[in-house]
Amino acid sequence: MFDLVKKLTGIFGVSGNEEEIREVIKSEITGYVDDIYVDPIGNLIAVKKGTGKKIMLAAHMDEIGIMATFIDDDGFIRFSNVGWVSQYYALGQRVKFKNGAVGAVFYEEKLDEMKNLKLSKMYIDIGAKNREDAEKKVRIGDTACFVGDTVQEGDMIISKALDDRSGCAVLIKVLKEMPETENELYFVFTVQEELGLRGAKTSAYRIMPDMAIAVDVTDTGDTPECELMEVKCGGGPAIKIKDRSIMAHPDVKRLLEESARELGIPYQYEVLEKGGSDPGAIHLTGGGVPSGAISIPCRYIHSPVETVNINDLENAAKLLKKCIAAKM
């Protein structure tokens, strides 16, 4: 599992520029399913044919990042966010553009108080001599992701883009260990989740599944002086109850609970008070799709040091595999 996560997190895939990560996932899953295609806005869809219910599984390929908006005469690049990027997380980090150019992210030092720090007071330094020199590497509208090595310390994996490459890894593992089932399975690696669940919306419309389960990360309440939340890293995959985009469907919740109990794996419940996720778009598609999610507990979401527990990933894969094989 670690090697797969490391491979996926290392690939560029800022929302709207998922081409590279899509190719890597595609080559990883080729040969394991009946059909693989890319839909018009870029979602990667892998199908295992069946005569039973249509079940859609979703994990988003995209990661948050920044976009170059202005280059000054000295070659410093101003930027805005692609998805939610904290100015405090970004400060002092490295970002990498699609072509490999790396820059240091820093801020206008005259800023009187750190609490006034905004992305608009920050810039990227790619070591350019001037604007012309900078434009050889970076153009307005180019996107960049955080640089953050993927390492394992004990049971914890630390990396950028675990949101949601860890979910992609879970889907890939399940797909490769395809369970015996009559259900027709759609493994969907979505685009542009971080911009508002956009890929999930079109892929669900095309598939019109009987049920959907997404795998994505969620916040935890297990770090010093953090906000209260029941979810802990290492406490098992979390069964989504709600976030700001969805109330998980009772049937999906029950299926997840019963499957976890039968497997004898630890599980917990996720009540996320901020943020949405792909099932938020899926469940409102067509006449409605019963939807839910398995959430991977993750510390420091949207930073270059996102942290998950590898046992939670393994158990999430076991749980998903069991659920999708259920008779419905």
Q: If binding is defined by CB under 5 A, does position 163 make contact with Zn ion?
A: yes
Gap between the Cα atoms of 283 and 270, Å rounded? 18
Question: With contacts defined by CB under 5 A, how many residues of the chain interact with Zn ion?
Answer: 3
Q: Is the Cβ of residue 59 or residue 128 nearer to Co ion in the bound state?
A: 59
- What does residue 175 show for φ and ψ, rounded to 5 degrees? -60, -40
The site map against Co ion for 302-321 (x = CB under 5 A) is: --------------------
Q: Which of 18, 62, 184, 216 binds Zn ion (CB under 5 A)?
A: 216
Question: What sign has the CA pseudo-torsion 145, 218, 326, 204?
Answer: negative
Which residues 6+ apart lie within 8 Å of 264 measured at CB?
Answer: none
- Report in angstroms how near the CB of residue 188 gets to Zn ion at its nearest: 14
Q: Which of 18, 62, 163, 243 binds Co ion (CB under 5 A)?
A: 163
Question: Which range binds Co ion by CB under 5 A, 15-23, 158-166, 282-290, 311-319?
Answer: 158-166
Q: Which has the closest alpha carbon to 44: 24, 71, 73?
A: 24
Q: If binding is defined by CB under 5 A, does position 142 make contact with Co ion?
A: no
Q: List, as one string, the DSSP characters of 8-77.
A: HHTS--BTT--HHHHHHHHHHHTTSSSEEEE-TT--EEEEE--SS-EEEEEEE--B-EEEEEEE-TTS-E
Helix (H) or strand (E) holding 297: strand 291-299
Gap between the Cα atoms of 16 and 158, Å rounded? 25
Question: Which range binds Co ion by CB under 5 A, 20-28, 115-123, 157-165, 256-264?
Answer: 157-165
- Report in angstroms how near the CB of residue 170 gets to Zn ion at its nearest: 12
CA distances from 54 to 37, 182, 260 (A): 17, 10, 21
Q: Which of 62, 164, 306, 312 binds Zn ion (CB under 5 A)?
A: 164
What are the catalytic residues? 193
- Report in angstroms how near the CB of residue 124 gets to Zn ion at its nearest: 24
Gap between the Cα atoms of 191 and 41, Å rounded? 8
Q: Which has the closest alpha carbon to 213: 259, 157, 275?
A: 259
The pairing of strands 94-97 and 102-107 is: antiparallel
Q: Is the Cβ of residue 165 or residue 318 nearer to Co ion in the bound state?
A: 165
Q: What angle do CA 280, 42, 240 make, to 5 degrees?
A: 25
- Report in angstroms how near the CB of residue 218 gets to Co ion at its nearest: 10
Question: Which range binds Zn ion by CB under 5 A, 11-19, 94-102, 210-218, 254-262?
Answer: 210-218
Question: Which range binds Co ion by CB under 5 A, 162-170, 198-206, 222-230, 257-265?
Answer: 162-170
Q: Is the Cβ of residue 60 or residue 232 nearer to Zn ion in the bound state?
A: 60
Gap between the Cα atoms of 143 and 79, Å rounded? 9
Q: If binding is defined by CB under 5 A, does position 18 make contact with Co ion?
A: no
- Report in angstroms how near the CB of residue 104 gets to Co ion at its nearest: 24
Q: Is the Cβ of residue 216 or residue 243 nearer to Zn ion in the bound state?
A: 216
Q: Is 112 exposed, middle or buried (0-12, 13-18, 19+ CB in 10 A)?
A: exposed
- Report in angstroms how near the CB of residue 60 gets to Co ion at its nearest: 8
Q: Which does 216 bind (CB under 5 to 8 A by kind): Zn ion, Co ion, none?
A: Zn ion
Q: Is the Cβ of residue 167 or residue 209 nearer to Co ion in the bound state?
A: 167
Q: Which does 142 bind (CB under 5 to 8 A by kind): Co ion, Zn ion, none?
A: none
Residues that bind Zn ion (CB under 5 A): 163-164, 216
Residues that bind Co ion (CB under 5 A): 163
